[in-house]
Every structure is written in structure tokens, then in C-alpha cells.
Amino acid sequence: MDTPKSDLLQGTLDVLILKIVALEPLHGYGIAQRIRQISRDVLQVQQGSLYPALHRLEKRGWLRAEWGEAETGREAKFYSLTRVGRKQLEAETANWDRLSEAVTLILRTAE
Amino acid sequence: MWFGERRAEARLSSELRYHLDKLTEEYAASGMSPEAARLRARQEFGGIEQVKEDCRDVRGRWLEDLIKDVRYAARGLRRSPGFLAVAVLSLALGIGANTSIFSLINAVMLRSLPVVREPDRLVLITRLRDEGKPASVSYPLFHHFRASLRSISVSAAHRTSSPTIVIDGLDEVAEADLVSGDYFSMLGVEPSVGRLLDAADDVLAPQSPAAVISHRYWQRRFAGNPDVIGKRLTIGNKLLTIVGVTPPRFLGVQPGRTPDLMLPLTPMLSQEEREEPTNNNLNMIARLKPGATVQQVNAEVQVSWEQFIRAVAAPFPEKDRARILQQRAKAFPAHNGVNPLQYDFSQPLFVLMGIVGLVLLLACANLSGLLLARAASRQREISIRLAIGAGRGRLVRQFLAESLLLAALGAVAGLCLSYWFSGVLVNMLADSGGLTLNVAPDWRVLAFTCATSVLACVLAGLAPGIHAVRGSLQPALKEARTGGHRRLGRSLVIAQLAVSMVLVVGAALFLETLVKLHRVERGMQTGGLLTFTVRSAEPYPAARGLAIRAALLERLSSLPGVEAASAAATLVIAGNLWVRKVQVQGYTYRPDEDETAALNVVSPRYFATMSTPMLLGRDFDPRDTAAGPKVAIVNERFARSFFGGESPVGRRLTSNDVTYEIVGVVADVKYRNLRDASPRQFYISWTQREGEQPASYNYLLRAREGDPLRLGSSLERVVSEVDPSLRLRRWRSYAAIVDRTIVNERMMATLGGFFGLLALIIACLGIFGMMAFQVSRRINELGVRMALGAGRGDIVALVLREVTLMLIAGVVIGGACVRAMSGLAGRMLFGVTPTDTGVFALATVALGASALAAGWLPARRASRIDPMTALRHD
């Protein structure tokens, strides 16, 4: 818990969720865990923003939600990526690449 | 809460709980005590309710909000039952009136024929009247069209008739439709019992003449007994067999009519009707070929008609030919069949629709005023809510919810009201005649009512809502005495007065029309006159018919209570007009002059019975026998137009190759209706009528005193005493017959008057409410005025001056609107113009008196204020 934490850039949570869910259908808790693990505890998603984001993506039709049995045998809400969602993920990934490249470029040449 | 809503809530909770539980498990697994783990998880998770709210926001919550708003509005309305009652009542009146008139328009114009297959593929093919309305076709024309038109698949002709039929020895009058062979196959109707008529029945001499009865008649007359198939019935000298029953809801092709029998056309027509190309009394309906349009059929009709009418005109002299060739034909879409009602009632119905639209507008303005007053008294609440961060849109929505609820209640009440009111309207239109209109609400009517109520809701609720929310923040939480409410309120009252002015002027115009029609010189006395027809079950030979008629008339004249009795072939002022070409000795027509005159065939004492003054010469009398010299009586207009100032007695006129000597002159009598001027007219005695004798005459009895209908009771007996085979039919007072010709005018006067009065009442309520509200808001100011020495009279004058100013504005605006709209009802009026000064003055006085009366009560209350109390009033 000593790792320095970074705030999520506005709007990046959506693309992270899409990416995580693209790997396999997952519930909200799992998504939060996965983001933390993969980012090696750098990124921590607040539940307060995770769930509204999930509902928003579902409403836009990028995520599909199904109730299924979790590993412990309890009912949980699993999110998976829709076809539109996959397209959106590709678009946003490309967009992110361009953006981060540009930002890096500026930060490096400033010296 | 909605079921779906509750489920979504439950799912949201369990989704979040799952997350929380997993967190707890995680901490417990890392070695914390269960209690500490739960606490830690809670801390990390944050406010569950807040997360839920955010998720709800994402999901969209207008439904939830709406339900909350409606509930809130319902609670508020329950607390003020007086407001609720006035609001719902005025909306119910407005919506109910609109729905009723729309139901009628729907029944008369929009509804398709019931039971018929694909009614929108039907076309009506017909000659046109001069005004461009559909007329009828002759039997030869029907066959000509049928053979020449390519875009139609099947076609059929139809005509109505009300013959006397004899079944099982009992005779009765039935409503019959004579239909050609393809009628039922064209309509795509299947029998409910037996078979329907087909081409084999529609020949001049069918092997066994067949008849089909309607389902309704089957139930009524035969109690639905299937043995009816094979039953014999006689009409005149024809024997027919019942072969089938139509399906239950089938009503033929003429809305408003409910035929009992359907008979084959060709065998039921007379030879003249079958062969004469200008004997037009059939309606022709056809079904479009797949892919064909009404326009295509119409184009073909033009070509085909041109051919036909040229052939008809060819044998006539040059001068007449132009008039014949003037006639036109056309194909109309006919999803609602042959529909004369559509043409008779469409204009009054549209004008009425406009009137009730205005009434609804009034009701909305009234409601708007009430809501405004309510909003004003809730100003403080609204200010507080705005101050603690409520969204304006949200508050406006809340106002809308209140009026939505009111509109919904008004719509339900209005629908109930309209169900009753439509029935009243149909009775008014039917005027004791048979008119079956289906005014039960269908999807169109319901959609109309919904749309009307939503419109009413928006109209009434939006302005006060926006106003209340907009005005509330600047004076902060202090009691706001803004002028805005008064301005909006005043405009609402002025609008109401203007609309009322339009309605009151309209009502006055329609009432004046009716009065003028009643007062117009008829040339006869309709009061105290009874009329009926007599029919024999089997036709008589001519000579015997004449003898029986004379005997009947003699017997009738000697009845106690009867002043005079006579008979006529045509009833006047009953919508009929019988014209013939005449030649007058010594008179040459100008080339463009109309060569016809109206004709009636009457018995002696006809003029005495009708109380028509005899101006010159003598009446028909027993000297005028069938074999004697032919004589005629003419009216004043006839005499003036053919003989100028000279006496026509002794001169001669020729009609249908018979020459008559004129023996008398009578005063002008209205012929077709009360509106048209009396035509030039001649009368022939019924003993001297040439050609085929009519099956029946109209008998007329003038009562010595009192209600002529009292004479009716003994008539049945008298008629059968003269000859046992005679049947009395349709005895009515003459006044009732005349009334039937002005059904539209009476309806417009009654409804126009009713809605005008309603408008006055609604406007008065509006003024009263508005002024009472303002007085209550201005108590302080009035108190100061009184303390400074204003008298009671001054205060009353102050309030009434405001009413007067609004009144003047309303009258001026309303008057301008009437002038702008004056063209709309022009043709429906009689003896009065839309810009009549008297009518305007009357309307202004009526409106002014009501407005001042409505303003006086609050004014008086204002003048009774105790200055001390008023000044302490906050």
C-alpha cells in the first residue's frame, strides 16, 4: 500500500473498463481488482466512479450486463463487451496512443 | 413505483452489496477480525447511497421523477378541492365538447364502412351536382361506365327504397337497398346464413326472385330463427324468397342508414328507370384494380362520360344541348361509401369544431389563471426551493405535472361527457328520422382526446409555471408583489373576453338566422296542419284509385275537429322541388331564359287547407273532371313573369304536351325550403294529371284548434273504413317537416347559443377569479388609499375601471377576429351578415353586462375593507 498512487485522467476510466472487460466478462469488483493488479497498484478505481461509469457504458450499448454465478456461487452482475463496445475500444486505444505520444514528445523536448 | 423500476433498484443494491462483501472477505482473509474487516470495507467503499444516486442519474430517472411529481401534485390538489372541481369541470366541458364534435366528424367522414373488405380501394363514380358534390347515375349510365372503365375490377349500383312488404300476411314498411349483382362480391362480404345475391339474381326475369335480409332485421323480425331461409315475401305484385342473411355488423354502403332488406336491382326497377339515360337515381361504387389509383379511374371517367353525354344530348335542340353538356362526372375515393351526410353536415361540423376549439381555449385560459393564482400563493415555497438549489426545469416540470394530472382527470370526465353529448347531437341531426351513426369512441377518437388533453395541459400549465419560476429569485424570499402576475393575469382575461366575444357574436348570428328563417314569409300556415300518406298494399287500377282517394278526402273533411282536408303530390318546404318545362301562350322566352316552372298536383281545397290566399279566379272544384277541360292555377310570381301586370285568368300554358287554361292566381309559397325565393309555379288538379298515377299522395288536415297531432288517433280507423287494403303511413305535423329542412340551422343556433353561454360563464368565472385574487393581493394598497380618504365608491370604480379596460380590449380584439373570420360561416347564415351592427351591439352589451357583474362582487368586497385591518395585513 506504499506505492504512490495516480489519479485517473478524466475519461480514461471508460477505456480502462472496456479493455479489462474485453479480456473476459467480469463483475464490478473484479474490474476494480484487475485494474489495480495490472497497474501494479498505481491506479485505484473509486467505487463511487466505477459503478456510475459501468451503468453509463451499459446504457450507451458498449457493455452488456448479465447476471451469472460468480466463483463463490453467489449471483453477480457480469459485464461483457458488445460489438459496438469493441469498436469503441479500438478507437479510444488509437486515440490514447496518439495522445500519450504527443504528451511524451512535449515533456521530453521541453528541456 | 413501477414494477421494472423496483426490480432495477433491487439489482443495483445487490450489485453493490456483492462488491462490499468481496471487499470484506478480502480484508478478513488478510487477517482482520470480521468486525474490523467490515468497517474497513465500508470506509473504502464510501457512501453507498451516493453511488446509488449517481447510478440512478446515469440510468435516467424521468419516470421516477414524473411519478413523484404526479404524487406531489395529487396531494396538493386534494388539499384544495374547490380549485380541483372548477379546474376539472372546465376542462371536462372543453375536452368533452371537442371529443363529441370530433366523434361526429369521425362517424360522418373518417370511419370506413364496417365489415367491407379493403374499403380504401373503393371508388364512387358519379355525375356531379352544380356545386361539385356527388349526384347519382342512371341505369344506362351505370352499364356504360361498367363496360368502358378499365381501372376498376368490379362495380355495383345501389339505390335506397322504402317499400311496403307483406310477410306471413302482415304488411309493414321496410328500408330496402336495391343492389346490382356484383354488390356483395365487390364489397367482399360473406353471408352469416344462406347465400347473398349474385349476378344470376340481377336479371330482368329471374327464375326465383331472391331477397337478402340484414342481420339486425333477422334478429328483430324473426328472432334470429334460421328457418327464415325460404320464406316468401311480396312487394307490390312481386313475390320474392329470402335466401340469406348479411353478417352482423354490415350496414350497407350508406353511413347513417340501416337497411332491412337487400333486393336485386334490375327486376325491381320500372321500365322507365331501366331505359331512360337521364333517370338518375343509382349510386355506383367500384373496386380499384390492384395498382390502379382513383386518379386513373377519374381520367377514364372523363373520357367515358364525354361519350355518353354527347349521345344523350344529340337529339336535343341546340339551345338545350349546351345545358346538358355542362354536366360533369367524377370518381371519388369511397372508403366510407355513398355518404351524403358528409356533404350535408361537413360545413356545420367544421364550424362547430372551431367553436368548441375556442371553448377549450377559454377553459385553458381560465385554468391558466387559476394555476397562476395558485402559483402566486406558493411563491415563498418556490423561492425557498430555488434558493436551496432546485433546478428551474425541475420546478416547471412539477407545474406541468399538476396540469397533466388535471388534464388526465378532465379527459376522463370529458370522455364520459362526450359519450352522452354525442348521442344528443346525433338525435339533433337525425331529428326523429332514422339516422344510425356509430359515435362510440374508436382509436381515432381516443387519440384525439389524448392529444387535446395534452395540448390543454401544456397550454394551461406552461405559462404560469415558467412565470412562477422566473419571477421568484430577485425579490429573494421576501413576499413578492411583482407586477408580472397582474400583467399575465390581465392578458389571460383579455384573451378570454376576446374569445367569448367571437363565440357570442357567432351565437347571435346563428340565432338571428333561425329567427329570420322562422319569420320569412312562407305563403302558408304550417301550424295546426297534419300530414300523412296513404298506401294500398296492392296497386289499384287508375280509375278505382281516383274514386278511393276522393272518398277518403270526403270522409276526412267530415271528421270532427277538421277544418279542411286536401291532398298534394309534393309537400312544399320539405326539401323537394318538382320542375317542368312550360310554354305560355303569347310569351317567347329570351334565349338564355330558364324555361321551367315548379309544379304541384293538388286536390280541391288545397289552398284553403294551407291557408294560402287566393288572389284571383277560382280554386279547383268538382267541375274539373278527368274528361273536362284542363285547368291550372298559377302563383303570383308566375303571373308577373309571364303576363306582367295583366290578369292571367283565361290564358293558356302547355306542359308535357297538355294545354291548360289558367283559372286562378294564388300567393307565392316557398317551395323547396325556407331559404330559396318562391319559384314561378303552377298547380294542376289531381283529377287531371296525365300519365301514370302516383302510388301515393300526401294528405293534409287543418285542425280547427289545438295540436293537429290529436287528429291522428282516429285516422287509422277512418282510412281502413274507406278501403280495408289502405294503410296509413308517416303521419306528422307539418311544422315538424319544415323543421327537418332546417336541421343544420337549428343545430347551429342551439349549439352556438349553448357554447356562447358557456363562453360567457367561463369568461365571467375568469374575471371574477382574477379580480378577487387581485383585490386580495392589493389589500395593503387599498387600505392606504382609504386611509388617505378614498371613498367606497372610488374603490369600486377603481376595480371596475380595470374590468372595463380589459373588456374594451377584449371586445376590440374579438371584434377584429370576427371580421377576419366572417367568410367562414357566410353561407350558413340567412337574413343577417357577419358584420351586422345590431349583432355586434347585442354581443357587446351581453359581454359587458356579464363582465361588469363578475367584476362587481370583488369590487364590493374591496370597498368593504376596514383600512386598519388592511394596513396591518402583510
Q: What is the complex's ipTM, to 2 decimals?
A: 0.85
Decide if B15 and A74 are in contact by the 8 Å CB cutoff.
Answer: no
**Rounded (10°) angle between helices B3-29 and B34-45:** 130
B11 to chain A, any CB pair closer than 8 A? The answer is: yes
**Rounded (10°) angle between helices B294-313 and B139-148:** 130
* Mean model confidence pLDDT for chain B: 86
> What distance lies between CA B382 and its chain's CA centroid?
47
| Closest chain A CA to residue B54 | A52
Q: Are residues B554 and B512 in the same domain?
A: no
Indicate whether B85 belongs to any domain: no
Residues B592-600: contacts with CB within 8 Å, 24+ apart? B597/B638, B597/B655, B597/B679, B597/B680, B597/B681, B597/B682, B598/B671, B598/B679, B598/B680, B598/B681, B598/B682, B599/B655, B599/B681, B599/B682, B599/B683, B599/B684, B600/B568, B600/B569, B600/B570, B600/B572, B600/B681, B600/B683, B600/B684
Q: Chain B residues with CB inside 8 Å of A67's CB?
A: 11
> Looking at residues B18-39, what average pLDDT do you find?
87
Residue B566 has pLDDT above 90, yes or no: yes
Distance CA B95, CA B89 (A): 10
Q: What is the pLDDT of residue B479?
A: 44
Point out the residue among B19, B46, B58 whose CB comes nearest to the CB of A52. B58
Q: Are residues B836 and B695 in the same domain?
A: no
Question: Which of B810, B821, B818, B815 lies closest to B763 in space, CA to CA?
Answer: B810
Q: In this predicted model, which residue has the larger pLDDT, B256 or B806?
A: B806
Q: Are residues B697 and B763 in the same domain?
A: no
Question: Which of B64, B762, B667, B814 lies closest to B401 in space, CA to CA?
Answer: B64
Interface test mutation site (partner B, options A37, A51, A71, max chain B beta carbons within 10 A)? A51
- Which contiguous run of DSSP H or E holds residue B723? none
Q: Who contacts B204 (Cβ-Cβ below 8 Å, separation ≥6)?
A: B266, B267, B274
Distance CA B783, CA B761 (A): 31
B16 to chain A, any CB pair closer than 8 A? The answer is: yes
Residue B208 has pLDDT above 70, yes or no: yes
Report the relative pairing of strands B562-568 and B152-161 from DSSP bridges.
unpaired
- How big is the CA angle at A49 (ends A45 and A50), to the nearest 5 degrees? 60
Whether B88 contacts B321, CB under 8 Å? no
Q: Which grid coordinates belong to A35?
A: 485494474
Q: In this predicted model, which residue has the larger pLDDT, B82 or B60?
A: B82
Q: What is the pLDDT of residue B146?
A: 92
Residue with cell 360561416: B825
- Which contiguous run of DSSP H or E holds residue B343? helix B340-377
Q: What is the pLDDT of residue A56?
A: 87
Residue B647 has pLDDT above 50, yes or no: yes
Q: In this predicted model, which residue has the larger pLDDT, B834 or B669?
A: B669
Strands (E) in B133-260, as ranges, are: 137-138, 152-161, 164-167, 170-173, 176-179, 193-194, 210-213, 232-235, 238-245
Neighbours of B649 (CB within 10 A): 17
Q: How far is B809 from chain A (nearest CA, A)?
A: 54
Q: Which of B686, B709, B724 is the C-terminal boundary of a domain?
A: B724
Query: Looking at the whole model, is its pTM more than 0.80?
Result: no
Q: What is the tally of structural domains in chain B? A: 4
Whether B426 contacts B437, CB under 8 Å? yes
Q: What is the pLDDT of residue B207?
A: 79
Indicate whether B311 belongs to any domain: no
Decide if A48 and B46 are in contact by the 8 Å CB cutoff.
Answer: yes
Q: Coil, strand or helix: which one is B292?
A: coil
Q: What is the pLDDT of residue B537?
A: 63
Q: Which ranges constitute the DSSP H helices of B790-866?
A: 792-821, 837-863
Q: What is the pLDDT of residue B651?
A: 92
Rg (CA), chain B: 37
Q: Are residues B655 and B783 in the same domain?
A: no
B819 to chain A, any CB pair closer than 8 A? The answer is: no
Indicate whether B714 belongs to any domain: yes
Domains of chain A, CATH where assigned: 12-109 (1.10.10.10)
Distance CA B714, CA B703 (A): 13
Q: Are residues B291 and B413 in the same domain?
A: no
Point out the residue among B11, B22, B55 whose CB comes nearest to the CB of A52. B55
Decide if A48 and B47 are in contact by the 8 Å CB cutoff.
Answer: yes
Decide if B55 and A55 are in contact by the 8 Å CB cutoff.
Answer: yes
Report the relative pairing of strands B652-655 and B583-584 from DSSP bridges.
antiparallel
Q: Chain A residues with CB inside 8 Å of B57's CB?
A: 52
Q: Are residues B760 and B669 in the same domain?
A: no
Q: What is the pLDDT of residue A110?
A: 58
Question: What domain range is B37 assigned to?
Answer: 3-60
B49 to chain A, any CB pair closer than 8 A? The answer is: no
Q: Are residues B657 and B752 in the same domain?
A: no
Least confident of B30-39, B115-124, B465-474: B465-474
Looking at residue B126, its amino acid is: T
Predicted confidence (pLDDT) per residue in B156-175, tens digit = 888 888 888 888 888 888 88
SS3 assignment for chain A: CCCCCECCCCCHHHHHHHHHHHHCCEEHHHHHHHHHHHCCCCECCCHHHHHHHHHHHHHHCCEEEEEEECCCCCEEEEEEECHHHHHHHHHHHHHHHHHHHHHHHHHHHCC
Q: Are residues B239 and B132 in the same domain?
A: yes
Q: Which ranges constitute the DSSP H helices of B215-339?
A: 215-222, 265-268, 271-275, 294-313, 318-325
Confidence of residue B665 (pLDDT cuts 50, 70, 90): very high
Q: Are residues B262 and B348 in the same domain?
A: no
Q: Coil, strand or helix: which one is B765?
A: helix
Residue B219 has pLDDT above 80, yes or no: yes
Q: Which grid coordinates belong to B791?
A: 371613498
Cα–Cα distance list, B666 to B23, B35, B363, B649, B681 (Å): 111, 117, 55, 11, 10
Whether A74 contacts A35, CB under 8 Å? no
Q: What is the pLDDT of residue B622?
A: 86
Looking at residue B458, its amino acid is: V
Q: Are residues B132 and B243 in the same domain?
A: yes
| Closest chain B CA to residue A33 | B23
Q: What percent of chain B has pLDDT over 90?
A: 31
Indicate whether B269 belongs to any domain: yes
Point out the residue among A29, A55, A67 whose CB comes nearest to the CB of B59. A55
Indicate whether B766 belongs to any domain: yes
Q: Chain B residues with CB inside 8 Å of A47's CB?
A: 16, 19, 44-46, 51
Looking at residue B457, its amino acid is: C
Indicate whether B527 belongs to any domain: no
Predicted confidence (pLDDT) per residue in B451-496, tens digit = 988 888 888 877 777 776 665 555 444 444 445 567 778 888 899 9
Point out the residue among A28, A48, A77 whose CB comes nearest to the CB of B50. A48
Q: Which of B693, B724, B755 is the C-terminal boundary of a domain?
A: B724
- Residues B729, B730, B732, B734: is their CA dihedral positive or negative? negative
Indicate whether B478 belongs to any domain: yes
Q: Which grid coordinates belong to B387?
A: 434558493
Spell out which chain A residues touch chain B, with contact meaning CB-CB distance below 8 angstroms: 27-29, 32, 46-48, 51-52, 55-56, 59, 67, 70, 74-77
| Closest chain B CA to residue A70 | B18
Predicted confidence (pLDDT) per residue in B752-787, tens digit = 999 999 888 888 888 888 888 888 878 888 888 888
Q: Chain A residues with CB inside 8 Å of B11's CB?
A: 67, 77
Whether B129 contacts B265, CB under 8 Å? no
Q: Are residues B568 and B494 in the same domain?
A: no
Residue B142 has pLDDT above 90, yes or no: yes
Confidence of residue A6 (pLDDT cuts 50, 70, 90): low
> Looking at residues B399-407, what average pLDDT do you find?
83
Indicate whether B321 belongs to any domain: no
Q: Chain B residues with CB inside 8 Å of A70's CB?
A: 18
Residue B433 has pLDDT above 80, yes or no: no
Q: What is the pLDDT of residue B1?
A: 46
Whether B252 contacts B177, CB under 8 Å? yes
Question: Strand pairing partners for B614?
Answer: B666
| Closest chain A CA to residue B50 | A48
Confidence of residue A2 (pLDDT cuts 50, 70, 90): very low
Q: Are residues B202 and B249 in the same domain?
A: yes
Least confident of B337-346, B460-469, B644-653, B749-758: B460-469
Residues B55-62: contacts with CB within 8 Å, 24+ apart? B55/A51, B55/A52, B55/A55, B55/B12, B56/B12, B57/A52, B58/A52, B58/A55, B58/A56, B58/A59, B59/A55, B59/A59, B59/B8, B60/A59
Q: Chain B residues with CB inside 8 Å of A69's CB?
A: none
